[in-house]
Amino acid sequence: MRIAALLAALAFAAPATLAQPAAAPPRFATTKVADNVYVFRMLGHQAMFVVTPDGVIATDPLGFVDKKGGETYLAEIRRITSAPVKYVVYSHHHYDHIAGGKPFKDAGATFVAHRNAHRHLAALRNPEIVLPDQLVDERSTIELGGTRLDLLWVGRNHSDNSLVMLLPKERIVFTVDWIPLQAVLFRDLPDGFLPDWFDGLDRVLALDWDRMIPGHPGPGGRLGTKDDVRALKAYMNDVSEAARQLAAEGKCLNDEAMAAVRLPKYESWGAYSLFLARNVERFCEYWGRGY
Ligand SMILES: [Zn+2]
């Protein structure tokens, strides 16, 4: 009691000029982005779900960074509709986006992913991960309760099984990990494919859409536009050109030379200081050693 009173007195006596720490954003949030389209965010990951009178199409069940991600996601859907979750579509097979599938499976959802995602997951045999039931090759369409969702494989990029999910009527696209918004690419592009990635960006630009939901929140939680895709392509071209020069100078195994690359245009982008040198290294492998 006395300690509590003392703490209260101290808090009361704290100088008003002391800056209050900024309130941490809530652990998770669900945001409506169109009449029937929502974004579920858990910490730094997010997924799209579509609500129709005949059921819900969910994507990426998350549940890796926070083990309760899948349960929480399903509970958030349940706050909006009691319609069954008919489908769970994986954007790609990386665990951090799909580990929380079990509650959805128990609720009877059909899991959909690219054929290569199934191949990887079947080989990895991670007991936490629900294997997909239906497989997509080049493209597929889910029609449910008056909503159409196109699942498009636009080649290899951040994995060999990324599906672009397009809502043609709502003009919304959901892409995960391979088109970050105002952020450099992750580390040295693990599981990534060059130069195919560039072709995929062109294919996404050629689709009809206005807003992009990313798998990791953009600055201030904003959605993306085609300008973001063009900006990423320009960034990747700039990194590629810098690496090509290093390769020409025989410096692609020189850590200091790679770390010295600066691209000031992108200084304000997420993870610039953290990952630029790693991004350069990946392109150095391409130009310097052919892979
Ligand atoms: Zn990934």
Interval between CA 190 and ligand 1 midpoint (Å): 9
- Please check whether residues 41 and 165 belong to one and the same domain: yes
Per-residue model confidence (pLDDT) at position 6: 37
190 domain residue, yes or no: no
191 domain residue, yes or no: no
Instruction: Cite the DSSP H helix spans in the chain.
Output: 2-13, 69-80, 95-98, 102-106, 115-124, 196-205, 226-248, 255-259, 272-289
* Domain limits for position 255: 226-291
- What whole-number distance in Å separates Cα of residue 201 and Cα of residue 179? 8
- Please check whether residues 123 and 256 belong to one and the same domain: no
Interval between CA 158 and ligand 1 midpoint (Å): 6
- Please check whether residues 164 and 248 belong to one and the same domain: no
**Can the peptide bond before residue 195 be classed as cis, meaning omega within 30 degrees of 0?**
yes
Interval between CA 155 and ligand 1 midpoint (Å): 15
- What whole-number distance in Å separates Cα of residue 72 and Cα of residue 95? 17
pTM for the full predicted model: 0.91
φ, ψ of residue 239 to 5 degrees: the values are: -65, -40
10 domain residue, yes or no: no
- Please check whether residues 58 and 108 belong to one and the same domain: yes
- What whole-number distance in Å separates Cα of residue 45 and Cα of residue 215? 6
Per-residue model confidence (pLDDT) at position 24: 80
Interval between CA 16 and ligand 1 midpoint (Å): 45
Interval between CA 5 and ligand 1 midpoint (Å): 49
19 domain residue, yes or no: no
Interval between CA 242 and ligand 1 midpoint (Å): 25
- Please check whether residues 164 and 213 belong to one and the same domain: yes
Interval between CA 34 and ligand 1 midpoint (Å): 26
Per-residue tens of pLDDT for the chain, all 291 residues: 344 433 333 333 344 445 566 778 899 999 999 999 999 999 999 999 999 999 999 999 999 999 999 999 999 999 999 999 999 999 999 999 999 999 999 999 999 999 999 999 999 999 999 999 999 999 999 999 999 999 999 999 999 999 999 999 999 999 999 999 999 999 999 999 999 999 999 999 999 999 999 999 999 999 999 999 999 999 999 999 999 999 999 999 999 999 999 999 999 999 999 999 999 999 999 999 999
- Please check whether residues 136 and 90 belong to one and the same domain: yes
Helix (H, G, I), strand (E, B) or coil at 209: coil
17 domain residue, yes or no: no
- Please check whether residues 283 and 210 belong to one and the same domain: no
- Please check whether residues 220 and 230 belong to one and the same domain: no
- Please check whether residues 164 and 231 belong to one and the same domain: no
192 domain residue, yes or no: no
User: What type of residue sits at position 256?
Assistant: E
Q: Give the CATH number for residue 54.
A: 3.60.15.10
**Residues facing residue 22 across a β-bridge:** none
Interval between CA 187 and ligand 1 midpoint (Å): 11
- Please check whether residues 105 and 212 belong to one and the same domain: yes
> Which residues have C-beta within 8 Å of that of residue 7, sequence separation ≥ 6?
none
Interval between CA 91 and ligand 1 midpoint (Å): 9
Residue keyed to tokens 């850590």: 255
Q: Based on the structure, what is the number of domains in the chain?
A: 2
